[in-house]
Chain A
């Protein structure tokens, strides 16, 4: 999957591109609108990560530019302006999703995957790894052909793990993924712990491999090398 990252902050851009490279994306970076437009005209991209505040203008210009040129790439807006107006305008102008800075990298990865699935893979609704299969439309999880009895949050969490295989997922990142930005009062890692524990128990009870492990001090990891 080829991604164009349009982000003026060099530090952040290098973090994002390093993370995406590890995930196997081919990531190119533009630091301003002009450069981005040049790249967009010259090469096809599956997805564009777009910052709104750019040194030579508003990132929304690129949205309009891409629509004018009838480009098919998916667009994910990354904005520091936590502004509702921008979000609505962005989505109306054809962006696929909107993520507010500061975001967690695994969250960005999950959103990117979701967009990619929706647009490029013809809306495939199955995520599978070895014996585990998830149907993201019906929120059903199977292990070894056995349907697991999962709550919606547990399903979301398992999917988050499976999209971010072999990544350390911090408890903060999991909490933000499950309960959103403004759940200040739920920043309670007991809940994360309980959810993870439940998932592991349910997978094990269906004779699945316990892929999810604890990373000391840091969080959890879906470990594909586990047997």
Chain B
């Protein structure tokens, strides 16, 4: 529900509540005022009639348009006592409505005789007031609702403009463009505060992002050069006449350097994946790469005494960066070879919707969901770094692939589901980002 609709509903609710209360109050006060005026007038008439009687003049049937009756009375009442009563009467049987009649009786001592004077008059009945009020209320309501509905959207567009502006800027905000958000000041206090807060937050994110990126770039650069030096020196060293034990020492060092290099490269790759640096908008022929990878690994499969069968559908097109497709396939098929036993089997199946790689192997020791964590590896494989599958997972996550691992009847099965439609909505808002990437390349 839009914010303007919420406000409108709230306002209408309050109006609905107030209008009946208000009309009751109005009704009561109008009725009271009419009655009071009539009573005042009748009292006055009574007093005038008493004065007339006092002067010895007779009192007629009507006085000042009010019916009046004066007669000697047995009882006496104080002079300022008025008996007020009202009732509904019907004079003309042809008329449907009753009339409301107010009568005022008072007692006067005139020349030693007690007189009771009664005067009466017709006033507007409460139902009639109510009918009049109802029409006016309905009109009022209709106009109010109409105007609110008509103007609310306009008003919200004007008042909430800075808010929508902020929202839009946030939607298009992209860390990688490294541009800070710039908000126009508004007259609304809350929006100014919001903008200030959002601005602060995004500035911080941009700063953090830049320093993180710089750190990972620097770390990789700073590590690679010393590694290159060590490796080159070791290689030069091994060209000399190296005796047995020294050769083993050099070899151990070479192994360690190699491992370090691989860890470093993999971590940098993971960081770059997380930074979304391999965003891709073009389809690539996944079948071709799958076939190539399978061919590449044929030798190894034979050497390890495994059998491999594959079923690769033609023209499977997937949105994936070319730099990643090899890494993905190499890691998966490499794993299938590595975590296998002699005489085992590997099957690779590629359809337009998914890639399934299954291989025989020993049952995994940990829970399957931990499989994709970094530096997690089967106890039997000391020589691997244990980062391959988390790279695969990261590649899948970045490209909206669903990856799933399960162990079933002696087979490790990894399946990757490709998204059904490649025009994913997520990419829509990343237009600016990919544009940026293109200009960078």
Residue numbers in A under 8 Å from B225 (CB-CB): 9, 12, 80, 101-102
Which residue of A has the minimal Cβ distance to B336?
A185
Q: Are B238 and A170 in contact (CB under 8 A)?
A: yes
Which of A89, A154, A176, A184 is packed against the most chain B CB atoms within 10 Å? A184
- Kindly identify, within residues 246 to 269 of chain B, every residue whose CB is under 8 Å from any CB belonging to chain A: 247-248, 250-251, 254-255, 257-259, 261-262, 265-266, 268-269
Residue numbers in A under 8 Å from B384 (CB-CB): 184-185, 187
Given contacts A19-B232, A102-B261, A168-B239, contact A183 B334 (CB under 8 A): yes
Q: Are A217 and B248 in contact (CB under 8 A)?
A: yes
Given contacts A101-B228, A217-B251, contact A88 B441 (CB under 8 A): yes
Given contacts A19-B235, A218-B238, contact A81 B220 (CB under 8 A): yes
- Kindly identify, within residues 25 to 56 of chain A, every residue whose CB is under 8 Å from any CB belonging to chain B: 53
Interface string of A84-95 (1 = CB under 8 A from B): 110011000000
A56 CA / B257 CA spacing, docked (Å): 29
Q: Which of B233, B257, B323 contacts A15 (CB 8 A)?
A: B233
Residue numbers in B under 8 Å from A80 (CB-CB): 220-221, 224-225, 228
Given contacts A84-B277, A88-B441, A186-B337, contact A180 B330 (CB under 8 A): yes
Determine how close the nearest CB of chain A comes to the CB of B298; give it in whole angstroms.
7
Residue numbers in B under 8 Å from A137 (CB-CB): none
Determine how close the nearest CB of chain A comes to the CB of B323; give it in whole angstroms.
5
A183 CA / B297 CA spacing, docked (Å): 11
Q: Are B300 and A186 in contact (CB under 8 A)?
A: yes
Cross-chain pair count, CB within 8 angstroms: 159
- Kindly identify, within residues 68 to 124 of chain A, every residue whose CB is under 8 Å from any CB belonging to chain B: 80-85, 88-89, 100-106
Residue numbers in B under 8 Å from A190 (CB-CB): 303-304
A67 within 8 A of B: no
Determine how close the nearest CB of chain B comes to the CB of A101; give it in whole angstroms.
4
A129 CA / B251 CA spacing, docked (Å): 29
Interface string of A191-227 (1 = CB under 8 A from B): 1001100000000000000000001111100000000
B19 within 8 A of A: no
Which residue of B has the minimal Cβ distance to A176?
B258
Q: Which of A102, A181, A184, A194 contacts B303 (CB 8 A)?
A: A194
Which residue of A has the minimal Cβ distance to B266?
A184
Determine how close the nearest CB of chain B comes to the CB of A141; give it in whole angstroms.
15
A151 within 8 A of B: yes
Residue numbers in A under 8 Å from B304 (CB-CB): 190-191
Q: Are B236 and A217 in contact (CB under 8 A)?
A: no
A179 CA / B255 CA spacing, docked (Å): 16
Determine how close the nearest CB of chain B comes to the CB of A139; give it in whole angstroms.
13
A28 CA / B303 CA spacing, docked (Å): 44
Given contacts A9-B225, A19-B235, contact A172 B255 (CB under 8 A): yes
A104 CA / B440 CA spacing, docked (Å): 30
B96 within 8 A of A: no
Residue numbers in A under 8 Å from B337 (CB-CB): 185-186
Q: Are A84 and B334 in contact (CB under 8 A)?
A: no
Q: Which of B235, B244, B327 contacts A173 (CB 8 A)?
A: B235
Q: Are A85 and B235 in contact (CB under 8 A)?
A: no
A9 CA / B337 CA spacing, docked (Å): 40
Q: Which of A84, A170, A186, A215 contacts B323 (CB 8 A)?
A: A84
A191 CA / B300 CA spacing, docked (Å): 7
Q: Are A182 and B303 in contact (CB under 8 A)?
A: no
A107 CA / B295 CA spacing, docked (Å): 23
Q: Are A185 and B250 in contact (CB under 8 A)?
A: no
B162 within 8 A of A: no
Q: Which of B295, B299, B387 contacts A184 (CB 8 A)?
A: B387
Residue numbers in A under 8 Å from B251 (CB-CB): 170, 217-219
Q: Are B227 and A101 in contact (CB under 8 A)?
A: yes
Determine how close the nearest CB of chain B comes to the CB of A196; give it in whole angstroms.
11
B383 within 8 A of A: yes
Q: Which of B250, B277, B331 contacts A182 (CB 8 A)?
A: B331
B296 within 8 A of A: yes
Q: Are A187 and B239 in contact (CB under 8 A)?
A: no
Q: Are A153 and B299 in contact (CB under 8 A)?
A: yes
B404 within 8 A of A: no
Interface string of B266-306 (1 = CB under 8 A from A): 10110000000110000000000000000110111001100
A1 CA / B330 CA spacing, docked (Å): 36
Residue numbers in B under 8 Å from A186 (CB-CB): 300, 330, 334, 337-338
B242 within 8 A of A: yes
Given contacts A172-B258, A184-B387, contact A19 B236 (CB under 8 A): yes
B335 within 8 A of A: yes
A194 CA / B295 CA spacing, docked (Å): 17
Q: Are A103 and B258 in contact (CB under 8 A)?
A: no
| Known pairs A89-B441, A173-B235, A184-B262 / 6 extra A-B pairs, C-beta < 8 Å | A9-B225, A80-B224, A82-B220, A101-B224, A185-B337, A215-B238
Listed from nearest, the 3 A-B pairs whose CB atoms lie closest are A217-B247, A102-B228, A15-B232
Contact residues of A with B, CB < 8 Å? 9, 11-12, 15-16, 18-19, 22, 53, 80-85, 88-89, 100-106, 151-154, 167-168, 170, 172-173, 176, 179-188, 190-191, 194-195, 215-219
Q: List 16 A-B contacts (CB under 8 A).
A: A83-B217, A85-B440, A100-B224, A104-B231, A151-B299, A168-B239, A172-B255, A181-B262, A183-B334, A184-B334, A184-B388, A186-B337, A191-B304, A194-B303, A215-B247, A219-B251
